[in-house]
C-alpha cells in the first residue's frame, strides 16, 4: 500500500521548477481529535453554525488536513492557522500570529471517508480533488465529459476512467480563475504513471494544463498546480 503524501511528493518532484508544497489527509472513518484542540476561535464560531453531521465531519476533516499541510510547509500550531472561505467558496489560509508572514494557496476536498488538502507556497495556485471510485461518475458522464474525451477514457475501465476525469476537471476548476466550466476544459492526452495517470487539458487557446491523477485506497485523487 502506498502512502498518499509520499506519492504526491514523488509527483511534485517531477514539476520543474521545484515547488514547495505539502499534502494533508485525514481518514474520516477514525475518530477526529476534539475540535477545540485544532480550531481557531473564528473557526469554532463557523462550526457552531454547521448542523448536518456529515458536513461537520467533512468540514472538520478538511480543516485538519489543510492545517497538517500548512504546518509541514511552514510552521505553527494547528489553532494558529485559520482557514476561511472566500465568497465563492475558495479556501484561504491565514497564519494568525503574523498574517503577512506566509503566502500560500490551499485546496481542500472530501469524499466519503477521506479528506485531503494541498498547500503550495508563493506564486502558485493549486487544486486537489478526491472521489470514491465507483460507477457514479460514469452514470453522470454527460454532465462533464465530451465525446472526444469519452474516446480517450475508453482505454480505461468506465469506473476508473470517469472517476479520474471527474477528479481532474474538479482539481483544475478549483485552481483556474475565472473558474472554467466542465466543457470548457478538454482532455487531449492521457499517459500512465505510477498508481495513476498524467492528464493534459486544453482550455480554449490556453494551456496545456497538466493534472496528476492517482488511485489511493479505492479513491481517485487529482492534483493540479499552476503558476499565477
Ligand atoms: C467548488 C467545487 C468545485 C467543489 O467540488 P466538490 O466536488 O463539490 O467538493 P469537494 O469536496 O471536492 O470540495 C469542497 C471544497 O472545495 C473548496 N471550494 C469551494 N468552492 C471553491 C471554489 N470556488 N474554488 C476553489 N475551491 C473551492 C472548499 O474548500 C470546499 O470545502 P470546504 O467547504 O469544507 O472548505 C464545486 O462545488 C463547484 O463547482 N462549485 C461551484 C462554485 C461556484 O460556481 N461558485 C460561485 C458561487 S458565488
Residue 16 lies in a domain: no
Q: Identify whether residues 30 and 107 lie together within a single domain.
A: yes
Q: Identify whether residues 115 and 144 lie together within a single domain.
A: no
pLDDT of residue 18: 81
Residue 9 lies in a domain: no
Q: Tell how far the Cα of 174 is from the centroid of ligand 1, in angstroms.
A: 7
Residue 1 lies in a domain: no
pLDDT of residue 227: 85
Q: Identify whether residues 44 and 133 lie together within a single domain.
A: no
pLDDT of residue 216: 92
Q: Using CA atoms, how far apart are residues 38 and 80, in angstroms rounded to an integer?
A: 8
Q: Identify whether residues 38 and 70 lie together within a single domain.
A: yes
DSSP sequence for the chain: ---HHHHHHHHHHTSSS---EEEEEEETTSPPPPGGGT--HHHHHHHHT---HHHHHHHHHHHHHHHHHHHHHS---GGGEEEEE-TTS-EEEEETT-TTS--EEEEEEEETTEEEEEEEESSEEEEEEEEE-SSHHHHTGGGT--HHHHHHHTTS-HHHHHHHHHHHHHHHHHHSSSPPPTTTEEEEEEEEETTEEEEEEEETTEEEEEEEEEEETTEEEEEEEEE-
Q: What is the pLDDT of residues 79-100, one digit of tens each?
A: 999 999 999 999 999 999 999 9
Q: Identify whether residues 163 and 111 lie together within a single domain.
A: no
Last residue of a domain, one of 69, 104, 121: 121
Residue 71 lies in a domain: yes
Q: Identify whether residues 78 and 153 lie together within a single domain.
A: no
pLDDT of residue 9: 79
Q: Identify whether residues 172 and 213 lie together within a single domain.
A: yes
**Which residue has its alpha carbon closest to ligand 1 atom 27?**
90
Instruction: Note down the domain range covering 192.
Output: 129-227
Atom of ligand 1 nearest to the CA of 111: 11
pLDDT of residue 1: 40
pLDDT of residue 179: 97
Model pTM score: 0.95
| Number of domains the chain is built from | 2
Q: Identify whether residues 51 and 86 lie together within a single domain.
A: yes
Q: Identify whether residues 153 and 211 lie together within a single domain.
A: yes
pLDDT of residue 188: 97
pLDDT of residue 7: 77
With a Cβ cut-off of 6 Å, ligand 1 is lined by: 59, 62, 85, 87-91, 108-110, 129, 170, 173-174, 179
Residue 12 lies in a domain: no
> Within the chain, which residues score under 50 in pLDDT?
1
Residue 2 lies in a domain: no
Q: Tell how far the Cα of 71 is from the centroid of ligand 1, in angstroms.
A: 23
Q: Tell how far the Cα of 91 is from the centroid of ligand 1, in angstroms.
A: 9
**Which residue has its alpha carbon closest to ligand 1 atom 47?**
88
Domain harbouring 39, CATH code: 3.90.470.20
Q: Identify whether residues 137 and 217 lie together within a single domain.
A: yes
Amino acid at each position: 500500500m502506498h502512502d498518499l503524501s509520499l506519492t504526491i511528493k514523488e509527483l511534485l518532484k517531477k514539476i520543474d521548477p521545484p515547488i514547495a508544497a505539502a499534502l494533508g489527509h485525514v481518514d474520516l472513518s477514525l475518530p477526529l481529535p476534539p475540535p477545540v484542540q485544532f480550531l481557531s476561535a473564528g473557526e469554532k464560531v463557523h462550526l457552531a453554525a454547521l448542523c448536518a453531521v456529515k458536513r461537520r465531519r467533512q468540514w472538520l476533516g478538511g480543516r485538519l488536513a489543510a492545517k497538517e499541510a500548512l504546518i509541514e510547509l511552514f510552521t505553527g500550531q494547528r489553532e494558529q492557522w485559520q482557514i476561511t472561505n472566500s465568497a465563492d467558496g475558495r479556501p484561504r489560509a491565514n497564519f494568525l500570529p503574523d498574517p503577512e508572514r506566509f503566502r500560500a494557496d490551499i485546496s481542500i476536498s472530501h469524499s466519503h471517508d477521506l479528506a485531503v488538502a494541498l498547500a503550495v507556497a508563493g506564486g502558485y495556485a493549486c487544486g486537489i480533488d478526491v472521489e470514491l471510485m465507483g460507477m457514479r461518475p460514469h452514470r453522470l458522464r454527460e454532465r462533464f465529459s465530451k465525446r472526444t474525451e469519452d474516446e480517450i477514457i475508453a482505454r480505461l475501465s468506465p469506473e476508473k476512467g470517469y472517476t479520474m476525469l471527474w477528479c481532474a476537471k474538479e482539481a483544475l476548476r478549483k485552481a483556474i480563475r475565472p473558474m472554467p466550466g466542465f466543457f470548457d476544459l478538454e482532455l487531449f492526452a492521457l499517459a500512465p504513471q505510477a498508481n495513476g495517470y498524467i492528464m493534459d487539458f486544453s482550455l480554449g487557446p490556453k494551456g496545456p494544463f497538466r493534472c496528476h491523477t492517482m488511485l489511493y485506497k479505492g479513491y481517485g485523487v487529482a492534483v493540479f498546480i499552476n503558476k499565477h
